[in-house]
Amino acid sequence: MRADRLLRIILLLQRHPRLSARQLAERLEVSTRTVMRDMEALSAAGVPVYTERGRNGGCVLLPGYRADVSGLTPPEAQALFAWSGRAALSEELGLRDALQSAMGKLSSTLPLELQDDADALSGAIVVDRRRWFAEAEDTGALPVLRQAVVTRRRVRLRYASASAGLQRRTVDPWGLVEQAGRWYLVAAHRGVARMYRVSRVEQVDVLEEVADRPADLDVKAEWERLRSGLEQNMPVGVDVVVRVRPERVETVRRIATPMLMQGEQARDVPSDDEWPQLAMHFRVREAACGVLLGFGADVEVLEPVEMRGRLLELASAAVRVYG
């Protein structure tokens, strides 16, 4: 819609003292001719914008002008206020008070009917990022890391690595990633990109040195590359089909879900008798063995056949210990 585009032009010019028509056209995905028509429309409407010719010219907004955002549509207002429902996320980043203040300022500019709808949605949305049966992550270092990322300062970490134990490393922080309730720092150590789990950061000191950050850095792309490499080196997963005592089906689903591949759940498959059958894709083979063996005779693994043999070995070993 043109009204949305006009507002975006104002907001862009508020952030950048001067942008060429070509730069605006690229950001708005329209032609330069359309940008020039929009500039004329804004000027005719009383918005203090103007264009300057010449090599260093461009589109300019008079300093000090601020746009009225009361033109937000109902879905736009609801989207903004729904985000405020993620209070836990903002609190971990050390931005809870700032978010509440920003939402208060924004709500004061909205028509009453939009405020009512937005407040109703924000009060109805609850985001619980905790994993089932998992302890809450320690994110005490997160606000300091956030500030280091924003100010582009190098940091010194005392980090409890899962494989190498306690380490001290000086890194260049690039960005932060929240993945399924866990926070990770994407940073470079001696020029090599790595991921650091924030809950394992025992101490962080922000240094005066400016962080080395590539000019063309894409934090999302870097995270995807790091994550892909990690997943390729993870222990082998396994697809399992089990038959379950009927009264234990829901318990099996609930306990097995945290061990399955992300986003997956146990699936019902056809059964030949009164015991239901479930198909599950476990992330780690040995974890699957431990979980399923814990149900004793209430769960029988049907596939894969080699897992039946592994469960027999584990059960026999347990009998020797406890028998």
> Could you read off the pLDDT tens digit of each residue along the chain, which spans 323 residues?
566 788 788 878 887 878 898 899 998 888 999 999 988 888 888 888 888 887 777 899 888 776 665 566 777 777 766 666 566 677 788 877 777 777 666 665 666 666 677 677 666 777 776 766 666 778 889 999 999 999 999 999 999 987 778 999 999 999 999 887 789 999 999 999 999 999 999 999 999 999 999 988 899 999 999 988 876 666 668 899 999 999 999 999 999 988 888 778 899 999 888 999 999 999 888 888 999 999 999 999 999 999 999 999 999 999 999 88
* Last-in-domain residue among 190, 205, 232: 232
How many distinct structural domains can be found in the chain? 4
**42 with 76, same domain?**
no
Cis peptide before 304 (omega within 30 of 0): yes
- On whether both 248 and 301 belong to a single domain, the answer is yes
Same domain (yes/no): 252, 306: yes
Strand-pairing partners, residue 185, are 176, 196
Residue 294 lies in a domain: yes
**Closest to 153 measured CA to CA, from 193, 212, 202:** 212
Residue 214 region by backbone torsions, left for phi larger than 0, else alpha for psi between -120 and 50, else beta: beta
Rounded CA-CA distance 220/209 in Å is: 24
Residue 132 CB partners (closer than 8 Å, separation 6+): 254, 257, 258
Question: How far is 301 from 110, CA to CA, in rounded Å?
Answer: 58
Residues 214 and 283 in one domain: no
In angstroms, the CA 186 to CA 177 distance is: 7
205: containing domain: 142-232
Regarding whether 198 and 244 lie in a shared domain, the answer is: no
Any domain includes 270: yes
Residue 242's contacts (CB-CB under 8 Å, 6 or more residues apart) are: 252, 277, 278, 280, 292, 299, 300, 301, 302
Residue 196 phi, psi dihedral angles, 5° rounding: -125, 125
> Any idea what DSSP says for residue 176?
E
Shared domain for 82 and 96, answered yes or no, is: yes
CATH number at residue 256: 3.30.70
Q: Does residue 195 share a domain with residue 268? A: no
Same domain, 224 and 147: yes
* Whether 98 and 151 share a structural domain: no
Among candidates 114, 119, 176, which has minimal Cα distance to 143?
176
The reply to whether 150 and 215 lie within a common domain is yes
* Residue 130 is assigned to a structural domain of this protein: no
Task: Provide the whole-model pTM.
Answer: 0.58
Q: Is residue 136 part of a domain?
A: no
